[in-house]
Structure 1
Amino acid sequence: MSIDVGIDLGTSSTLVYVRGRGVIIKEPSVVAYDRDTNKVRAFGEEARTMLGRTPGNIIAIRPLKHGVISDYTVTEKMIKYFITKALGRRTFQKPKISVCVPSGVTEVEQKAVEEAAYAAGAREVFVVQEPVAAALGAGIDISKPYGNMIVDIGGGTTDIAVISLGGTVASASIKVAGDDLDDAIMRYIRSQHNLLIGERTAEDIKIKVGSTYPLMEEEAMEVKGRNVVTGLPKTVTITSLETENALREITDQIVESIIAVLEQTPPELSADILDRGIILTGGGSLLRGLEELIEERTGIHTLTAEEPMKVVAIGTGEYKELMKSDWTE
């Protein structure tokens, strides 16, 4: 029996799904690299914990930028590491690997993903578009002639697509996503509070008090960082209303892209989307108020998939089997 593996190769995180076992790995897409010896020191969570705590010769690399490979050699090693970790030494059989890519990738970028998966030990490689994988992972039957709209907000890209009969009818892939939300919070706090904070703190703010729509009750949290003027440590209080202001430019871009895809959608499928609603997936979909904001601007019921961070990995891993059963009857 062949081993089917699905890899959600993301800018921020990599998830590995093994058929029959589910999502068994979710780790940061980070590699710690020693410049003196040209060797990789650590992958994933271990590499992330080394950030800012290592000698100058060890640097942390994110081998993917905006959902595509920016460092081929390091990506190949990272895929190999995650596959070995997922499968262990229980089998000598090469796995069949499905890897998802953003819907806007070029043929060259897609080829790079395929080659990296083969070099990492795959027997067969299938490339799946991210929105299609997200729809399958969310439990949507995409083989029927009905329009389904998926908005997958990852770390490096936001993929928006209308899917019908197993294919993409209208789509957009924008290089604005979760990482940009963190950057926007960092810039806002620097400009409004003269406070320098790191990526981890920005992400913490986004998760704890971040919002894109007015909350019933405003929330606040204390944030520690370095004063830009004095260079000394400083603590400020950040509110959910401030995060709404900080994130407005990014969330507006996402909503405008959703509207642009809706404008390209054939009328019959538009009617289906009005009935079925818009489905949000990916880590960025967990940002509070996003459902309400999209619903207010589009007039279409919007909801977030269950376990939105896992659906792309699940859909990628199940893609081959689901599509085979749908289309070979």
Structure 2
Amino acid sequence: MPLFQHLAIDLGTAYSVAYLFSDDSFLWEPTFVALKRDGRFPLAIGREAKAMYGLNPSNIRVVQPLADGVISDFEVCSLYLQCLIKKALKKKRGIVRNVLFCLPWGATDVEVRAYRKQLELFPFSRIFLVREPYAAALGADISLENPSGSLVIDLGGGTTEITVLSLNGIVQCVSLKVGGNAMDLSIKQEIENRHRFSIGLKTAEEIKIRHGSIAPVIEDHDFEIKGFHRLYRFPRKKQINSSDIRQALEVPVQKILSGIAYSLESLTPELISDISAKGAVLVGGGALLKGWPERIKKRFNLSVQIPENPHFCVIRGMKKILLDLKKYQPLLEE
């Protein structure tokens, strides 16, 4: 084990990733914390805490410390970040020399200070901050220094960031408070309104992953769900069709497409020409939802590239930065 370790952290609304450079390992955990209702000591974080969501007794509360890409509970977010770092460094020897932390493009000064304050609780030698659009672009193998425009759409759990980059800088970034969590809520509400059938948000997320699409790219099919029938007032199973899920997703999808349109409208003809030739790059967990290339092609006549494992694009970009801090110094904040 090397004497010096390097750590990268991408704190997300739905999922967070910690990357340890020395053994090239990823720790991917849901951003959930379980606590005693009358205390502030975490009972569990990550997958263990998420498994308790919706099942917890009255003396335990399960919290998502981030909402729509911003910190909703500073104290719980601090606990989660501390536990995530300890979990990533568990049984690892050596001194963490450099820590790279990813910030949303729209993070306020108060949030930046809060993140830095928590990182300073650990004996790290140096702390670097990078804005998420830069890391996402690098993780998608986009060359930032070229005099050419690139469109990167980061479909996260709490937000969607639509970014145009060129010449090592961000020309424009539109941040929407619409993401995977909003889609889960839309599915839940659609099933309740259309079928008078109640399901939880965890079930809605599973439906989205297994049966969700935003274009007719797969054959519509029936599948079974379990929940509570609000008309008959007892638990039961129900058959629904995948086309219902596509309809439920239409509202958040339209908001994202409108955000892309808004972003493109204000660009110079030169940037539009570059983007028309290169297309759009989709990153983030939401890029795995079937139908995005077809919808974007139909609406904007743009080709779409989705890198392998798009939900790890940000952390892959951060890995590149850690490999060559000198080269990417202009992108960093200390």
TM-score (norm 1): 0.93
Structure 1 counterpart of 2:82: 80
Letter in 2 for 1:309: H
Q: 1:117 Cα deviation (Å)?
A: 2.1
Pairwise CA distance, 1:322: 4.2
Partner of 1:188, secondary structure, is helix
| Deviation of the 1:213 alpha carbon | 0.7
User: How is 1:136-147 mapped onto 2 (pairs within 5 angstroms)?
Assistant: 136-147=138-149
Q: Which moved more, 1:29-38 or 1:246-255?
A: 29-38
SS in 1 for 2:16: strand
Counting only pairs closer than 5 Å after superposition, residues 134-213 of structure 1 correspond to structure 2 as: 134-213=136-215
Bigger shift: 151-160 or 64-73? Answer: 64-73
Deviation at 1:256, TM superposition (A): 0.8
Match of 1:292 in 2: 294
Distance 1:241 1:191 in 2: 15
Tell me the equivalent position of 1:7. 9
Tell me, which stretches of 5 or more residues in structure 1 are unaligned? none
Once the two structures are superposed, residues 87-137 of structure 1 have per-residue CA deviations (whole angstroms, 9 ceiling, x without a partner) of 224335234222222212222222222222223444322222212111111
- Alpha-carbon RMSD: 1.9
* Distance in structure 2 (CA, Å) of the matches to 1:9 and 1:23: 16
Q: Distance in 1 between matches of 2:318 and 2:251?
A: 31
2:282 is the alignment partner of 1:273: no
Partner secondary structure for residue 281 of structure 2: strand
- Return closer, same or farther for 1:274/1:23 CA change in 2, 3 Å cut-off: farther
Q: Which amino acid aligns with 1:306?
A: E
Contact residue 147 and residue 273 of structure 1 kept, 8 A: yes
Q: 2:310 aligns to what SS in structure 1? A: coil
Within 5 Å, give how 1:1-329 maps onto structure 2.
Answer: 2-322=4-324, 324-325=326-327
Q: 1:216 to 1:45 in 2, by over 3 A?
A: closer
Say if 2:7 and 2:96, in contact at 8 Å, map to a contact too: no
Cα distance in 2 between the residues matched to 1:53 and 1:189: 21
Letter in 1 for 2:245: T
- Measure, in 1, the Cα distance between the counterparts of 2:71 and 2:43: 20
Counting matched residue pairs gives: 328
Deviations 1:50-75 (A, max 9, x none): 22344311100111111222222222
Q: Aligned pair in 2 of structure 1 residues 216, 43: CA closer, same or farther (>3 Å)?
A: closer
Identity of paired residues, percent?
36
1:37 alignment partner, SS class: coil
Q: Is the 8 A contact 1:283 1:309 kept in 2?
A: yes
Secondary structure of the structure 2 residue equivalent to 1:127: strand
Q: TM-score, normalised by structure 2?
A: 0.92
Which ranges of structure 2 fall in alignment gaps of 5 or more residues?
none
1:23 Cα offset (Å): 4.6
Cα contact 2:5–2:94 (8 A) shared by 1: no
The amino acid of 1:211's aligned partner reads S
Given that 1:209 and 1:220 are in contact with CA atoms closer than 8 Å, whether structure 2 keeps it comes out as: no
Asked if the contact 1:31–1:42 (Cα under 8 Å) also holds between the matched residues in 2, the reply is: yes
